[in-house]
Chain A
Amino acid sequence: MILGYAGKCLEVNLSTRRDKEVTFDDEVLKDFVGGRGLATKILWDRLGNKWESIEPLGPENVLLLLTGPLTGYFPGGRICVSGKSPQSNGVVGSTVGGELGVELRCTGYDGIIITGESQKPVYLFVKDSDVEIRDASHIWGKDAKQTVRILNKECRELLKKRYQRYGEFKEPAKVYIGPAGENMVRTAVVAAKWTHAAGYGGYGAVMGSKKLKAVVVKGTGPLPEAADMKKVKRFIKAVDRNAYDNKLWRRWGTGAGGYTVGAKSSSEPVRNWQDEWHDETSYGVSEFENRVWVKGCWADFGCPTNCLKIAMVKSGPFKGAITDNPDYELQAYLGPNLGLFTPEENVYMASLIDDLGLCGIQTGNVLGFAAELFQRRILTKEDLDGIELKWGDAKAFGELAKKIAYKQGIGDILAEGTYRAALKIGKMKKKDLLQYAVTSKGIAIGAHGIRSQKDYPHSISYACGVQGGDHTSTTALPIDGPGSEVWEIFNDSGVFCNFNSFGLPRNLRFDLYEAVTGLEMTRDDWSKNKAMRILQMQRVLLLLGGPDLKWTPETHDDNPSRFYEPLPSGPYKGKAADKNNVREDVRKYYTEAGWDEKGIPKPETLTKFGLQKMNKTLDKLR
């Protein structure tokens, strides 16, 4: 057995209500590490031969909650959620911060594999090796804050009753869904701690399809033993010191970008990306601090950065709204993207999105999309069930968000996410509406544009990434260079927070991996072999897609058409992505990735990574 792992996963079948332990060969763990890598492997092994027919929101899909060997060791605890994505129909490794990953490793499991579907609402309660499927009918329909309250109370009481002499139990860690997940909204999240979310991928809807309201875990053991604890401690210190020096995020959180990304780099979504520049000082992070912050530092397990802050609206029409900073992504998508420029309106929207269990990015994107259709008189007030969806009207956007979460009226269509909604409404209105959909592979693009070329994503970052619009897993040329997706695949597979890895020597994460597992791992071995294998597999599954949508590389390995429209204002006015350059870069990327001119992995590429079996499956696409 490899050190640093608990050595087994828990598998629960919600149809039969049975559970069992699953182990993986050392070779599998060496190649796929954990989290996103291992998820890809598990999904291919179990669903690969019938991938296209697997309905992501059906009982055949497999929901994965996986840690990695670095979870709990690398400062900043996370857990990776995966499965067949109801957004991209591929695999997304979607990580969420919090204590669940650590808590799970302390039970003696590296992850949880959930199959089947329950007939009635349930939640899973894991206490060390005790596994229970419990009734959740009393929490079904509850929002995030009430779900957390009830589960904390109920599970602590259970523990108290069962272990009477233990003393006080800390709250168990958990992930849960809100009403949006229950209603299988494709922009629903798997959430934690009120405000944290695994958003990309839409796995909240997958939990909802399985009638699984929450996964609650209390582990009382230690983290799995590490190979060299002395080195582990030294590397943790190095990560901490690096983070302590990063004053910007410690002090202000990523929300510092709400103003600067708009004003300085001009790469922030404004009114559904019709612009990417704004200079609204009302949106400066100090305004957030002065007007809504009630706590200036909030962190997940072991995190030195505490990029989270807590915000609350104390008076006015949005009184009582509570969320975190908000972070940059939600500041942008539930702010300027909707024409909102005050902290109070932004906190109101973010709080509502948290409560409903929606993704701030995906939902902010589809709300902006709908508002642009209203602006262009494609959607009318009648189409919107009486809502006048004007830019800057927080209450109107809030009403529409609720309709999406409960799939009421127009919300039923928008609940499909921007791309699918564009197809559906386009059909109704007999218009091509994809030109207003800022997405890639069914996934709304994160709040970092490419037109000004002043932000980190490159011209093909979203066009070629295997996780579509995911701004945390963007790619670039060269394929093993600093902007490549391969590094994020490591963070998502070792399962730790990428924010604590910024500014560190690139080797450190591999050194820590070695200190924990006792296995050697070089940067080259990762970027040229292991990460590439995972990347190829994610690519294959993404291209297989189905059942409702498939991606054709020629059409879909591209930016949303909006990115080819010139920026209308600001310091980079007139700048846009260049179609010819993008085409050329996409072709270069294909070559570097070992894909043919159609963007399909070549047989020899798959053979090189030991993936011969995928060849046959891909033949029909060639």
Chain B
Amino acid sequence: MSKQDYDVVIIGSGPAGATTARLLAQANINVLLVDKRQELGAPVQCSGAVSRHALEEVDIPITDEFIQEPIYGFGIYDQSGAETRIDYRTLKPDEYGPEASKKPLGYVVDRRRFDRYLMTLAERAGAECMLKTEGLGYESIDDQHCRVHLRHFRRDFSVTCRVLIGADGLMSQVGKWAGLRTHIKITELASCLQFVVDRVETHGLLEIITGHEWAPGGYAWVFPKGHGYAEIGLGVIPTMSNNDAQWHVKHFMENSFFKERFSDSRILEIQGGGVPLAHPLRTQYADHLLLVGDAARHVNPITGGGIHTALSGGAVAAGFLQELLAQNSPTRADQMAGYQDAWLQELGNKMWKLYDVKTDIFRERDIYTRDQKLYETMSSYFSPESEYKKI
């Protein structure tokens, strides 16, 4: 670390934090980006699916460094195995396909390499980056500055900045420092477990399996993982089952309509995480502080996808801060509120609408009707006509 004073300090170098850092650094804003981990993206807590549009929207070069497999569409299944297939290679054959003249719809990325690459881009843009650096707290100094306390390889130190960004994921502690209401309800946090497996065939599609029997409160998935590997996983809402996610994955693999397909599979990695199927935080800012990504609960409440919303949210934060810092204005909560307004306009209002759709599904007490609603919603969500397809 060469300085003690920055314009912006960002805690957490995932997709949201690193993208915010890169875009701010490109605008000649002094940024310190820190992460407590020694290896970004690890332990993997994410399936890694992201649309091509999401990457292009924030100018992330599409490179083999992090891509595991291109995706061309979706297979949505109901509990019994009936499928709605949305394959863009068939729907729009002139546009989507593996040929050089065509493009994929999205990708499954390796989160370890992806997150490292995003930090590399931020560093190359001029952000100062530090691993093994944990945030300990922050306090206001005056209307325009705060002090952030950090620990790097057991050494405690402090820096000053005008704005602190909490990009520290679903386990965010930065929001708690500011007294923001970050608590998530158990009925809205999916408990997820996935296996990376060998010997399971895939076809360039994200396969989503609905049905209370397999994944109560969530859904199961089979995603291509490159090099002939696949991901098999699911998320469950704990209050809707007597069994944990591990039990449900085993049940799904051994008893579902895919049991023959999975019968020769070999587990190569075990990964898990909590995925919020919740509304965004109602307040995502405080004095000198704003939250981005999972820390602000910028996660799609229907799909549980968080990479696209993290990248887009990071861009919104960077755009807002460029203007705010250029005006040399205070960074109290009153001024920071503009970030949330910009985010709602760009993304958030649609996410709130999605939350209402999701809530309507899971308010239904009749399991059969609820399963039908989820299957139909998922099928329409991924269709070319969906109003939400850019989230």
Determine if chain A interacts with chain B.
no
Interface residues of A (CB under 8 A from B): none
